[in-house]
Structure 1
Amino acid sequence: MRTLNLGILAHVDAGKTSLTERLLHAAGVLDEVGSVDAGSTLTDSLALERQRGITIKSAVASFQAHGVTVNLIDTPGHPDFVAEVERVLGVLDGAVLVLSAVEGVQARTRVLMRTLRRLRMPTLLFVNKIDRSGARTEPLLRDIAAKLTGSAVAMGAVRAPGTRGAHAVPYDVADSSFRARLAPVLAEQDDALLAAYVDDERALTPARLRAALVSQARGALVHPVFFGSALTGAGVEELAGGLAELLPAARGDADGPVSGTVFKVSRGPSGERIAHVRMFSGTVRVRDRLPLPSGREGRVTSVGVAEGGAVQPRGEVGAGRIGLLWGLGGVRVGDTLGAPRPRRAGDGGRHFAAPTLETVVVPLCEEDRGALHTALTQLAEQDPLIGLRWDEARGETRVSLYGEVQKEVLQATLADDFGVGAAFRESMTLHIERPAGSGAAQEVLHAQGNPFLATVGLRVDPAPVGSGVAFRLEVERGSLPYAFVRAVEETVRGTLRQGLYGWEVADCVVTLTRSGYLARQSHAHAVFDKSMSSTAGDFRNLTPLVLADALRRAGTRVCEPVHRFRLDLPAAAYGGVLPVLARLRAVPRSSVARGTAYRVEGDVPAASVTGLERELPGLTSGEGVLECVFDRYEPVRGTPPSRPGPALDPLDREGYLLQVARRVGGALSGRSPDPRDGGR
């Protein structure tokens, strides 16, 4: 039987979780349809999901539709939980993008559709809530063509929209009027069809057009549009038929080499780690040993697959399926099990921007400080984009966020799952630092002021925007033991997490220009004496001081995140919005009149987005639609913002050396000198 791994995506409140429930009910998986408002849906299992009526964690359910096994993944719609959508996109065969017939094309709908098109993900559109007062059909189709995709194909009409009796009437390809609308859309993607369309329309038989529709939909060239209501069930059967016919089945050789991707990590009742894996090739069985990216090996102790509304234990999971694997203790989200899978066109890694907010989490009770850190560490394993940072000396834990709703979710999760009460400080916008120029520094073994048995020279140079951090060697390879080189590189990357102003340093090249060490030695007839021999600890302790000096000489520029915005608003509100944009440091790049409305596009600092969202409804009588997408980092004008550096701060040389001395249990300067200088 064919398998389809399907994602349902939408702007929050468009009704995708209700659609999931309706599809499961129609397939016989559920006896009755759950309600988001009542908190009785199958896929919203978290208490906070039921309480707020939103999806927070992706959930998998399975059902049969027209001879196809559909593994359905319900993803969050709220932008604060984009990380959940991010990790799911790479394991899908196709998607359904849900729109509301009342609210229409919303800001996040555009972001999701652009991403799906960039990934060339076969996607069906489902216009939900046709039974709601104010539901639109033909005007909405025009909006879809203008704002989402010009290759949308309506698969039916709606009768009695906006009433309880609203229902969808599917088009028949044998109907000449439907063929007349379908042919030009398909002909744009197929030269042979275009020639037939121009020369002899009689050659465009119903069978030929239907085959072209299926082929182009599976190839993400056209996007069929279905209408219905998840509440009443109208149009859901037609959508289920579209899933089976118009979206491609999973591919993969069950007898081939094992290749799978971990898209979610959860924990069982006993705290055991459970890896949710999409298998692209091969078969994983109980007791199989799998190499992990960490370099370790994991042994599969149990396998489960989603069948119906529950996870069923099985002895194996093969290519094309989604499985739950127990026993892989070191596994993390994003890990590849076995051989890497071939990359899909348009799959360039991260699909959405990284978080641009940060907050400090503190325990409500001082005695829970250690438990809080442990709990957040486990949550960071499940969600790498949390960006956990721990300052032991200050006793502060910082986490990265997409929005304020995440604070409530983290707070509830810590209380419910770990029994830890926590509070959050005010969020701040995350900046970065980039080198303003080049700078070099060095500390030489046995030189005055260097208490470590190591020589380290480093140079910091700017790198192209978006290139990240690179580490290079100018010293002769083999002149320094690999363990020491690795210690320097790891410490460089760790130290760059906080630059001259306390922000992470990005887009730079750090080069090791000089090195030296004392070989392993001991006193006569004695064991190894680290007081006269270099260790990796010497390089780990010295490198931050050298890098801090090099950064000072290079200088850094603080850069703030900037979003690209698109704002649709009534023409009458245009004059009142422009001064607000200027006050919030938004820079309009273009402004186009569209009948009785305006579309303004431009740039806005991430720190101003929340303020703009807050003021927009009042300025536009609730008719303004704002879409913001992270675009880039730009240098801050004026006085750059800063945040406190680490407690062990190499920019404060005296304080740094004092703390290191305490850690190693004595004065560093008391180490035995040696006449040999290993500087190279």
Structure 2
Amino acid sequence: MHSTPRTLNLGILAHVDAGKTSLTERLLHAGGVIDAVGSVDAGSTRTDSLELERRRGITIRSAVVNFRLGEGDAARSVNLVDTPGHPDFIAEVERALGVLDGAVLVVSAVEGVQPQTRVLMRTLKRLGVPTLVFVNKADRRGADDARVLGEIARRLDVPVVPMARVVEGLGTRSARAVPYTGADPDFTRRLLDVLSAHDDALLSAYVTDPQAITYGRLRAALAARTRGGQVHPVYVGSAITGAGVGALLEGIRQLLPPAEGDPEGPLSGRVFKVERGERGEKLAYVRVFSGTLRAREHVPVGGIPARVTDLAVFEPGVLERRAAARAGEIAVVRGLTTVRIGDVLGRVPEGRPFGDVFAHPSLETVVVPADPDDRGSLHQALTRLAEQDPLIGLRREPGGERLSVSLYGEVQKEVLASTLDEEFGIAVGFEETTPICVERVRGTGAAHEILDAAGNPFFATVGLRVGPAPAGSGVRFGLEVELGSLPLGFVRAVEEAVHATLRQGLSGWRVPDCTVAMTHSGFCSIRSTAGDFRALTPLVLMAALRRARTVVHEPMHRFRLECPQEAYATVALALSRHRAVPGSPRAQGESYVIEGHLPADRVHFLERELPGFTGGEGVLETAFDHYRPAAAPRVRERTDHNPLRREEYLLHVQRRV
């Protein structure tokens, strides 16, 4: 009698073009799911199902497919999550990270460690996701696994253990990789050196009796430290030819932890992907962390009961309808009509961060329909796309004349235009990309409105004091009124209104970090409602904010630019023109390396110009770093009812009431 294999939810992550999707294809072939390995260039891969993905040769949306690995008690049912490599689609990666048990980070043996590689490894390390590294493209000209291994240890700043080596044909289709074994004393010594730095018991045993450290004990320690996210085994090979993939598969089976969770425990799951079915119905991808999710039962979604009409789980190469999905599995669920990405089913999963792993988009643009009559259809289409990617950040200005979306980069524009054209039949253009700024509170300001006072039409007293807070600390709301002096429902209404109002500060930008204290409160037991407090709070808060004052800050990217020494003067002028703040250049061979900071909205322009300045030899790496005071005034059109204009605001609120 065969036991049910334990589930492993495995992410494949990489910088774009490192061979991530090709490796996914090779793993599926090795697992018997597909008969032939698909080609990214030919558009025949299993996980790039969108026509746009096949045409562009990049992954845009994460995809899930299952295969079996191993036999008997050590078998694994692997849910393989293929994620985008292009930084413009980092939001898809972010959502996948919250459901993974382990990951394989793919690095090119030719290009080596690239910008997105560093971003991904820093995040995997911070979240403690057990990660193996696969050095791919050993069959390509220019491959150098030894150099890349050094780069991984140095530039990713993580403890690594090389698990295999290329023994012949490096840089050719005949490249052959073989794993190290316990018979290799150099390998066992490297294992011991790395593992003893993270395993006190192993170090103590080695000091006491070096001969007592068997290879079996070293492998057990390697599995324990890998599963703890402290050590990262590195494999090498080629996804195209299959070289070295067998050793990687064994590493996945032996070293990465299967999913935990009690199927008999309380239900706990999270939605990490939403898409539409053939009939337009919502399909929610749910990772079940605890308990059992059953079809035709009501489950709490974000605290509100909803009925699961149907569900399916991933089996090798297919989605299989089931009556239930158990802890550890990923289910595709129908029936949750109001579900959104990030929604929790049952209890909130413990120790599972979701969202805000990477920086939010720092750019935005206005989407313009080619046919003005398509404006209503465009809003509906963008609203539906925002279900699949909440970070689209759809904004509709009063009157509905202008629709803007958030961006990580210019590639998203092209993808968005193609998607709107192909899926919705709407041709669009875009206005100039602009930065998404924030407002920082400069000083302290207070204001209050008293119930029954002249000019206050609401049955509520609200007083607020606003002050600055460190970057990244968020909005902190506190009470300086006597506990019990105001019903809890009214306090919550004020707090909710504070957070909603701070989405648009004095200049129309989000105020992400500040302290807000409630200093005055009062109500009429007969006539006051939560709506009175919710409507009055924006007026009081914006009055306090005016007295505190805010400063608009623009997003800045850190950059690393490598260029030929003879092109430095031209590059330096370009950096100055784009308002960059560069450091001093340092020589590296025949090139100069310049590091510094660059406004987010100038990155695309510098990328476009660089090949011409450097004869195609310039390399630019960028990533969001911080906000700085804007060089010029930047005001954003408001989408609320503008509590800065009291009469206009009151007219709208009272008409609505």
TM-score normalised by L of structure 2: 0.90
Q: Which residue of 2 aligns with 1:586?
A: 580
- 8 Å CA contact 1:128–1:227 kept in 2: the answer is yes
Contact residue 184 and residue 197 of structure 1 kept, 8 A: no
1:567 deviates by 4.4
2:295 is the counterpart of 1:286: yes
**1:653 and 2:646 aligned:** yes
| Greater Cα shift, 576-585 or 278-287 | 576-585
Alpha-carbon distance between aligned partners in 1 of 2:532 and 2:35, rounded to the nearest angstrom: 66
Where 1:550 maps in the other structure, the secondary structure is helix
What is the alpha-carbon distance in structure 1 between the residues aligned to residue 171 and residue 609 of structure 2? Answer: 30
Is the deviation greater in 272-281 or in 386-395? 386-395
Residue 397 of structure 1 is aligned with which of 395, 403, 423? 403
Q: Does the alignment pair 1:550 with 2:544? A: yes
| SS of equivalent to 1:30 | coil
How far apart are the structure 2 equivalents of 1:588 and 1:197? 49
1:358 aligns with 2:364: yes
Deviation at 1:624, TM superposition (A): 4.8
- Match for residue 239 of structure 1 among 248, 272, 276: 248
Counterpart of 1:525? none
Deviation of the 1:642 alpha carbon: 1.6
- By how many angstroms is 1:291 displaced? 1.1
Is 1:88 the counterpart of 2:81 in the alignment? no
Give the CA deviation at 1:573: 5.9
User: What's the CA shift for 1:603?
Assistant: 3.3
Is 1:303 aligned to 2:311, yes or no? yes
Identity %: 61
Q: 1:579 to 1:365 in 2, by over 3 A?
A: closer
**Distance across 2 between alignment mates of 1:3 and 1:471:** 42
Residue 448 of structure 2 is aligned to residue 428 of structure 1: no
Q: 1:629 to 1:518 in 2, by over 3 A?
A: same
Equivalent AA in structure 1 for residue 46 of structure 2: L
Where does 1:104-119 land on structure 2 (aligned, <5 Å)? 104-119=112-127
1:629 aligns with 2:637: no
SS at match of 2:447: strand
| 8 Å contact from structure 2 (residues 395, 639) kept in 1 | no
**How far apart, in 2, do the equivalents of 1:397 and 1:485 lie?**
34
Report which stretch shifted further, 618-627 or 143-152: 618-627
Asked whether the equivalents of residues 107 and 625 of structure 1 are also in contact (C-alpha less than 8 Å), the reply is no
Q: Are 2:556 and 2:624, in contact at CA under 8 Å, matched by a contact in 1?
A: yes
- Map 1:39-438 to 2 at 5 A: 39-66=43-70, 67-158=75-166, 159-194=168-203, 201-293=210-302, 295-343=303-351, 350-438=356-444
Answer whether contact 1:292 1:330 (CA < 8 A) is retained.
no
Counterparts in 2 of 1:534 and 1:105: CA distance versus 1, 3 Å: same
CA distance in 2, matches of 1:48, 1:561: 30
- Indicate how the Cα distance of structure 1 residues 137 and 370 shifts in structure 2: closer, same or farther if over 3 A, else same: same
Matched to 2:43, the amino acid is G
Q: Is the 8 A contact 1:266 1:275 kept in 2?
A: yes
TM-score, normalised with respect to structure 1: 0.87
Q: After the TM superposition, which residues 511-660 of structure 1 pair with which residues of structure 2 at under 5 Å, given as runs? A: 511-515=517-521, 538-567=532-561, 577-578=571-572, 580-588=574-582, 600-618=594-612, 622-637=616-631, 639-646=632-639, 648-657=641-650, 659=652
* Secondary structure of 1:18's aligned partner: helix
**SS of residue in 1 equivalent to 2:143:** coil
Instruction: Tell me: CA distance 1:4–1:540, structure 2 relative to 1, closer, same or farther (3 Å).
Output: closer
1:2 paired to 2:6: yes
Counterparts of 1:618 and 1:362 in 2: how far apart (Å)? Answer: 31
Q: Distance in 1 between matches of 2:193 and 2:609?
A: 43
Q: Is the 8 A contact 2:98 2:354 kept in 1?
A: no
Q: What letter matches 2:177 in structure 1?
A: A
CA RMSD of aligned residues (A): 2.9
Instruction: Give the aligned partner of residue 13 of structure 1.
Output: 17
Asked whether the 8 Å contact 1:106–1:625 carries over to 2, the reply is: no
Q: Do the aligned residues in 1 keep the contact of 2:364 with 2:407 (CA within 8 Å)?
A: yes
Q: Could you tell me how far 1:48 is from its partner in structure 2?
A: 1.0
Deviation at 1:654, TM superposition (A): 4.3
Mapped partners of 1:326, 1:161: distance in 2: 49
CA pair 333-150 structure 1, distance change in 2 beyond 3 A = closer
Instruction: Give the whole-Å Cα distance in 2 for the aligned partners of 1:179 and 1:539.
Output: 68
| Residue 554 of structure 1: how far off its partner (Å) | 1.6
Listed as ranges, the matches of 1:493-504 within 5 Å are: 493-504=499-510
Cα 1:341/1:643, change in 2 over 3 Å: closer
Q: Quote the offset at 1:106 in angstroms.
A: 1.0
Residue ranges of structure 2 left out of the alignment (5+ in a row): none
**Alignment of structure 1 residues 431-450 onto 2, 5 Å:** 431-445=437-451, 447-450=453-456
